[in-house]
Amino acid sequence: MADQQLLSLNDINTSLGLGLQINELLKLMVEKGASDLHIKVPSPPILRIEGELITQECLPPMRPDDVECIFKQISTEEQRDVFRRELELDFAYSVHGLARFRVNVLQQRGSMSLAFRLVPFKAPSIDELGLPRVCKELILKPRGLVLITGAAGSGKSTTLAAMINYLNQTERRNVITIEDPIEFLFRDNRSIIRQRDLGHDTKSFYTALVHALRHDPDVIVIGELRDLPTISTAITAAETGHLVLGTMHTIDSAQAVDRVIDIFPATQQHQVRLQFSQVIEAVLSQVLLSRIGGGRIAAFEIMLATSGLRRLIREGRIYEIADNLEHGASEGKRTMDQALAALVKKNLVSKEEAAMKSSNLAKLNEFLK
């Protein structure tokens, strides 16, 4: 592997003298097992490997024309027009035989900055990722709302992809995904899967969701629940007999519930609490941690919508959700601190790493005793 990486670096340095070739950098990214590649002026390329940002000091600093050259290599004229208008852009880029990448472009200090996220061609399985068994049960639900939450880069899209992959191998369902951008590509197996790319196949999550309901779906997957119209329509879709899955940028289950309720006007919140309590099936909140010995591992808080938990939502007692999860192990629930403590006890992550991801150190130490 060292020889392969040295060869790649030589190829890249040669390319730099002739006009930078982004595919060589992406090849290096895959060879080194990096999850992300960052390109900005005036730094050399930076790789994120097992959560750590590592500057590639052996490569020269990026100049503005280098970054612009890379952007032209990987984008279409239409995408460049969007960037010129908005000064930011999300899209997918593929290298044949290597991998797919989610690309974000933004303007910073007068120059472009690029971030590439690695997306393997093959969707992972639930077992390969070591996801909770409840993921298999939730994706087979006939109806309801399932939320996957976590910070950016915590693996939410990968978890969703693994669940869809399991459904595709198990049941005959009509699945419609709305993504920004499309990451994992699916081929029909037992299910029919239609994937819509925001900006290319549709103009908004809300519009795509409304039209998806007219396309005879069984399952609708929403890349991000980010605004009132989308969240409202997702709840309605779940009420009318569809299974709806979506992601949110919240750190735990209680915060996700609060986000859904609080986005509505105060005059509607009582009714929304009732509706949401009836359709929600689960909230899975996840974080990624560095594994002892190398690699990454996910920890999951699991909120399952039992009758007691639905009552807490209905009555607005969101502050009691954490206690409900903590004492709901027999029902399959657990808090994030319980999940972190379990990984430490199994010697999969260090106590220090778990503490960095904990929102309640006292509780974490209590579970570790």
- For residues 357 and 347, the answer to whether their CB atoms sit within 8 Å is no
- How many beta carbons lie within 10 A of that of residue 319, not counting itself? 10
Query: Which pLDDT belongs to residue 3?
Result: 38
Instruction: State the Cα–Cα distance between residues 285 and 299, nearest whole angstrom.
Output: 8
Domain ranges of the chain: 2-119, 126-368
Tell me 198's DSSP state. B
- φ, ψ dihedrals at 25, nearest 5°: -65, -40
Dihedral (CA of 67, 72, 74, 78) sign? positive
Reading the block at residue 297, the tokens are: 């591992």
What average pLDDT does this structure show over 283-305?
Answer: 95
Query: Which pLDDT belongs to residue 162?
Result: 97
**Using alpha carbons only, what angle is made at residue 137 by residues 134 and 143, rounded to the nearest 5 degrees?**
125
pLDDT digits (tens, 9 = 90+) for 310-330: 999 999 999 999 999 999 999
pLDDT digits (tens, 9 = 90+) for 135-159: 999 999 999 999 999 998 899 999 9
The set of residues, in sequence order, having a beta carbon less than 8 Å from that of 22 and lying 6+ positions away, is: 70, 73, 74
Mean pLDDT of the chain: 92
Instruction: State the Cα–Cα distance between residues 309 and 321, nearest whole angstrom.
Output: 7
- How many beta carbons lie within 10 A of that of residue 132, not counting itself? 19
Instruction: State the Cα–Cα distance between residues 178 and 197, nearest whole angstrom.
Output: 6
The set of residues, in sequence order, having a beta carbon less than 8 Å from that of 131 and lying 6+ positions away, is: 159, 162, 163, 298, 300
Instruction: State the Cα–Cα distance between residues 151 and 197, nearest whole angstrom.
Output: 22
Instruction: State the Cα–Cα distance between residues 61 and 339, nearest whole angstrom.
Output: 41
Asked whether residue 17 carries a pLDDT value surpassing 60, the answer given is: no
CATH number of the 2-119 domain = 3.30.450.90
**Which CATH architecture does the domain made up of 126-368 adopt?**
3-Layer(aba) Sandwich (3.40)
Q: 212: pLDDT confidence band, cut at 50, 70 and 90? A: very high
- Token pair 């929403």 is found at 222
Query: Which pLDDT belongs to residue 361?
Result: 95
Query: Which pLDDT belongs to residue 16?
Result: 46
Query: pTM of the predicted model, to two decimals?
Result: 0.85
pLDDT digits (tens, 9 = 90+) for 97-140: 899 999 999 999 989 999 999 998 888 999 999 999 999 999 99
Using CA atoms, how far residue 301 sits from 46, 169, 232, in Å, is: 31, 26, 24
Closest listed residue to residue 90, CA positions, set 106, 76, 67: 106
Asked whether residue 6 carries a pLDDT value surpassing 90, the answer given is: no
- How many beta carbons lie within 10 A of that of residue 323, not counting itself? 12
- Token pair 């050399």 is found at 44
pLDDT digits (tens, 9 = 90+) for 215-260: 999 999 999 999 999 999 999 999 999 999 999 999 999 999 999 9
Using CA atoms, how far residue 354 sits from 75, 190, 219, 338, in Å, is: 40, 39, 35, 10
Asked whether residue 165 carries a pLDDT value surpassing 60, the answer given is: yes
Asked whether residue 183 carries a pLDDT value surpassing 70, the answer given is: yes
Dihedral (CA of 149, 53, 345, 366) sign? negative
Beta strand segments in 275-326, E: 280-290, 296-304
Query: Which pLDDT belongs to residue 97?
Result: 87
- H-state helical runs in 51-204: 64-74, 77-86, 126-129, 134-139, 156-170
pLDDT digits (tens, 9 = 90+) for 59-109: 999 999 999 999 999 999 999 999 999 999 999 999 988 999 999 999 999
What average pLDDT does this structure show over 5-10?
Answer: 42
Query: Which pLDDT belongs to residue 20?
Result: 52
The set of residues, in sequence order, having a beta carbon less than 8 Å from that of 327 and lying 6+ positions away, is: none
Query: Which pLDDT belongs to residue 169?
Result: 97
What average pLDDT does this structure show over 29-55?
Answer: 94
